[in-house]
Amino acid sequence: MNPIYLDYNATTPVDLAVVDELLPFLTTHFGNPSSNHPYGRTGKEAVELARGRVAAALGCTPGEVIFTSGGTESDNQALIGTAFANRERGNHIITSAVEHPAVLRPLRWLEEQGFAVTYLPVDGAGMVDPDAVRSAITPQTSLVSIMHANNEVGSIQPLAEISAITRQFGVLLHSDAAQSVGKIPTLVDQLGVDLLTVAGHKLYAPKGVGALYIRKGVRVAPYLHGAGHEGGLRAGTENVPYMAALGKAMELAAGRITAGEPNEVRELRDRLHAKLQELAGGVVLNGPEKERLPNTLNVSFEGVVGADLLARLPDIAASTGSACHDGKGELSGVLKAMGLSRAQGFGAVRLSLGRLTTGAEIDRAAALIAAKVKEIRAS
């Protein structure tokens, strides 16, 4: 029996309907979309169909969507491209202390290029205070980048409130929505964002494809230079199979969200939490109780190190909130920013559910985890 997969925030399996969508473009329909013959036109039509599907799921126009190789490239394109294209507006950027490295590291690089970056703190639930954004804005601020939902604890940031502030000051707002797209509604006009990152492998599409929403009129410098693909912003022959896959995955996700999938996943997540509390005890929730991704449960077990727990659970595939480098424990930057103690932080385990998670798996996982927690505590 395969391990119970509870690491959907790390990556998702590819939906079988998505596989069916992409396979013909690996074999029969192999043409270059730039070629002016039937093979090329078929590829071009597939790319534009996929673009329309992504746009429909985000509530924008197809012309506001460019395809990328994934969330990291989308974040880099958004941050670096926007920073340089709008440098005359100012060289100051605002972000949060709990962003993904795909945001934090490009910003560190921009600091080396002469940009100034403010890293806003978060509260104990991992939430950014919109008033802190307001206070941090200066006449030199050109861009704010705040993630939609956190990958470790699932905190859903108040983007609509933040965007009301950035628009008041004429500042652009980017959001890394890699974790939220496909799990909760991510309509760009409701959120008020100017740029938004999508990562395919977080929503049942393959690894190696993503998208970036760029609101019409927002200036972004090209990141990859070459021929004029993707409106001149992202050079390179289009990855037709994976673009088709992402479009299908976005279409499926939008339909499943409307049909109530988030509520179904939330019920399983809360069932897992309740059973862990009942069977193991000493369970502390990390992150907000309500304003959280419906699939994400980050908990610490008192008296237990999360990495040690998972190492003793070969039947569970999950993640911890810390990493071990050269034998030295390193607390997750997210949990550290939230103010967790070392004991609580190193006790953290992230259990993230998904489309294929079943009630039977939840019950078995809870029993296995609780039994091992008790064993460790007794040793």
Angle between helix 261-279 and 359-378 (nearest 10): 30
Tokens of 303: 């008296």
Judge contact between 201 and 249, C-beta under 8 A.
no
CA–CA separation, 197 and 169 (whole Å): 22
Phi, psi of 13 (to 5 degrees): -70, 155
Catalytic annotation present for 60: no
Choice among 311, 324, 356, 371 that is catalytic = 324
C-alpha dihedral, 376 to 305 to 355 to 176, nearest 10°: 180
Judge contact between 316 and 6, C-beta under 8 A.
yes
Residues 6+ apart with CB under 8 A from 204: 12, 13, 14, 15, 18, 182, 249, 252, 253, 355
CA–CA separation, 145 and 95 (whole Å): 5
Residues 6+ apart with CB under 8 A from 49: 244, 247
What is the distance, to the nearest Å, from the Cα of residue 231 to the centroid of all Cα atoms in its chain? 25
Torsion sign, CA atoms 92, 97, 101, 105: positive
Q: Where are the alpha helices (DSSP H) in 188-302?
A: 188-191, 240-258, 261-279
CA–CA separation, 295 and 152 (whole Å): 11
Phi, psi of 324 (to 5 degrees): -115, 120
What DSSP line would sit under 127-181, residue for residue? PPPHHHHHHH--TTEEEEE--SB-TTT-BB--HHHHHHHHHHTT-EEEEE-TTTB
Nearest by Cα to 79 from 169, 196, 228: 196
- Kindly list the catalytic residues: 324
